[in-house]
């Protein structure tokens, strides 16, 4: 590519129009049905979605709510976590994971990550807990669609009396040792933000739980703490899932596995092309326990990341940096007293990661083009 020339192709990071076009009729009919019912809050579509996704995730219960961020917050509320409590959170994740802890009045303590999977490192969790005695819970994030190493996390958590919350916002259908995530910890949290493998036409979220009483508590907390009209057993919030969003999600759910397969195929194609090209790039390598990686994002580690991003932009290729600042170094957490160098693996990841397009509407030619443009940059 010479400066100013027209790219040979355009490859978007995500192409929702292409994804929705083949099933637009079904989505529109589902929306129309809600409009005809005039029941816009919770109701049948939400109940059906909860049933469908509880089964999909292998959990006994699912409770729809307004967003993944609210799901995390509601999980903490249900566990009675608040002022004075500490919650352990990986330092390399989307802000909402830690933001929910602060919103609940608790304090996040950040844990470094595994350099290969980008997920919470159990050894670092154990080391942090040896210094940190008042912790109540740990949030295991299944980042980019790959499961965190749940068995050691659960073992360490139980040794220290911590509850494990799963942040599976990016990981619907991912598996850990052939078990679906969101059914492994005490509570699971999902997001339906439009970039997720199962995305709504706006915001939406869901909680999963195996415990009947906990599920009942969560269902009440999302409607001001009461399931009986004008009786409030707890102080909850308004975090209902719209019937319209639930209807869209129900229309899309039958296609989810096909879309995930297309993502996995695109990832496999990158894997062989990038390995053959011998570039200073580390493609994602699922760990043996990540028996089903759903590739919500395909994130490489690379040298000269920001220059590469610009080069790919000039080639017509959309990329994104998830996430450029680890949470312990975010300005809003300055008062927690962390310094650069405290959590080196998270800091290195933040400096080197780049997400390449992996969405299901890509063709093999798109993946080949991205790989060729990437190779050209390092030549
Ligand atoms: C890891 C993680 N946790 C939580 C969230 C919050 O979800 P939402 O955007 O639905 O509030 C997201 C959303 O991007 C996420 O990626």
Task: Report the atom number in ligand 1 closest to the C-alpha of 203.
Answer: 10
The pLDDT of residue 1 is above 80: no
289 CA from centroid of ligand 1 (Å): 23
Distance from the CA of 278 to the center of ligand 1, in angstroms? 34
User: Which atom of ligand 1 is least distant from the CA of 141?
Assistant: 1
State yes or no: pLDDT of 5 exceeds 90: no
CATH of domain 255-378: 3.90.1150.10
pLDDT of residue 170: 98
Mutating to test ligand 1, I would choose from 75, 94, 139 the residue with most ligand atoms within 8 A of its C-beta, which is 94
Ligand 1 site residues (CB inside 6 A) read 67-69, 93-94, 96-97, 141, 167, 169-170, 191, 193, 203, 205
What number does the ligand 1 atom closest to the CA of 192 have?
Answer: 10
CA 191 / ligand 1 centre spacing (Å): 6
Query: Which residue has the CA at smallest separation from atom 8 of ligand 1?
Result: 68
Domain range list for the chain: 21-254, 255-378
Match 């129900």 to its residue by tokens: 250
* DSSP code, position 358: -
pLDDT greater than 70 at residue 22 = yes
pLDDT band at 297 (very low <50, low <70, confident <90, very high): very high
Local confidence band at 355 (pLDDT 50, 70, 90 cut-offs): very high
Mean predicted confidence (pLDDT) in 353-376: 97
3: tokens are: 């400066």
- Distance of CA 338 from the midpoint of ligand 1 (Å): 24
Residue 204 CA, closest ligand 1 atom number: 10
Tokens, residue 332: 């809003």
Q: What confidence score (pLDDT) does residue 60 get?
A: 98
**pLDDT interval class at 132 (50, 70, 90):** confident
Residue 348 pLDDT greater than 60, yes or no: yes
Decide if 21-254 and 255-378 have a common fold: no
Going by CATH, does the domain composed of 21-254 fall within 3.40.50.10420?
no
pLDDT tens-place string over residues 24-47: 999 999 999 999 999 999 899 999
Ligand 1 centroid to Cα of residue 125, in Å, is 22
The predicted structure's pLDDT at residue 232? 97
Nearest atom in ligand 1 to 196's CA: 14
- Mean per-residue pLDDT, 216-238: 97
Q: What is the pTM of this model?
A: 0.97
How far is 168 from 79, CA to CA, in rounded Å?
A: 18
Distance CA 197, CA 193 (A): 9
Q: What is the DSSP string of 189-233?
A: EEE--TTSSS--SS--EEEEES-HHHHHHHHHHTBTT-SBTTB-S
What share of the chain has pLDDT > 70, as a percent? Answer: 99
Kindly state the DSSP code that residue 254 receives in the 8-state scheme: G
Residue 61, strand partner residues? 209
Confidence check: pLDDT of 65 > 60:
yes
CB atoms within 10 A of CB 130: 8
Cα separation, 297 vs 79, in Å, equals 30
Cα(98) to centroid of ligand 1, in Å?
11
């Amino acid at each position: 590519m010479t400066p100013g020339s027209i790219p040979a192709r355009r490859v978007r990071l995500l192409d929702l129009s292409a994804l929705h076009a083949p099933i637009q009729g079904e989505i529109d009919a589902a929306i129309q049905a809600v409009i005809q019912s005039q029941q816009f809050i919770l109701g049948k579509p939400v109940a059906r979605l909860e049933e469908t996704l509880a089964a999909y995730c292998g959990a006994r219960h699912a409770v729809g709510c307004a967003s993944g961020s609210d799901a995390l917050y509601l999980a903490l509320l249900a566990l009675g976590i608040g002022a004075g409590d500490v919650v352990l959170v990986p330092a390399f994740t989307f802000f909402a994971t830690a933001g929910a802890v602060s919103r609940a009045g608790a304090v996040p303590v950040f844990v470094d990550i595994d350099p290969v999977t980008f997920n919470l490192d159990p050894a670092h969790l154990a080391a942090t807990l040896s210094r940190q005695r008042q912790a109540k819970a740990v949030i295991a994030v299944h980042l980019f669609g790959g499961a965190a190493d749940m068995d050691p996390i659960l073992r360490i958590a139980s040794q220290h009396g911590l509850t494990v919350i799963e942040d599976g916002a990016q990981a619907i259908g991912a598996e850990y040792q052939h078990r679906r995530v969101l059914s492994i910890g005490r509570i699971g949290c999902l997001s339906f933000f439009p970039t997720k493998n199962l995305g709504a036409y706006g915001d939406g979220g869901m909680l999963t739980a195996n415990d009947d009483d906990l599920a009942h508590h969560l269902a009440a907390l999302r409607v001001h703490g009461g399931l009986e009209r004008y009786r409030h057993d707890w102080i909850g919030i308004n975090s209902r899932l719209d019937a319209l969003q639930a209807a869209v999600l129900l229309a899309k759910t039958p296609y989810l596995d096909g879309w995930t397969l297309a993502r996995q195929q695109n990832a496999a194609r990158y894997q062989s092309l990038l390995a053959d090209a011998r570039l200073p790039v580390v493609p994602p390598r699922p760990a043996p326990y990540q028996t089903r990686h759903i590739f919500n994002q395909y994130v490489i580690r690379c040298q000269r990341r920001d220059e590469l991003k610009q080069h790919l932009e000039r080639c017509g290729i959309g990329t994104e940096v998830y996430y450029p600042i680890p949470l312990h170094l975010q300005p809003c957490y300055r008062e927690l007293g962390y310094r650069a160098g405290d959590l080196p693996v998270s800091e290195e990841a933040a400096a080197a990661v780049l997400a390449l397009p992996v969405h299901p509407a890509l063709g093999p030619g798109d993946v080949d083009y991205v790989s060729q443009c990437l190779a050209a940059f390092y030549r």
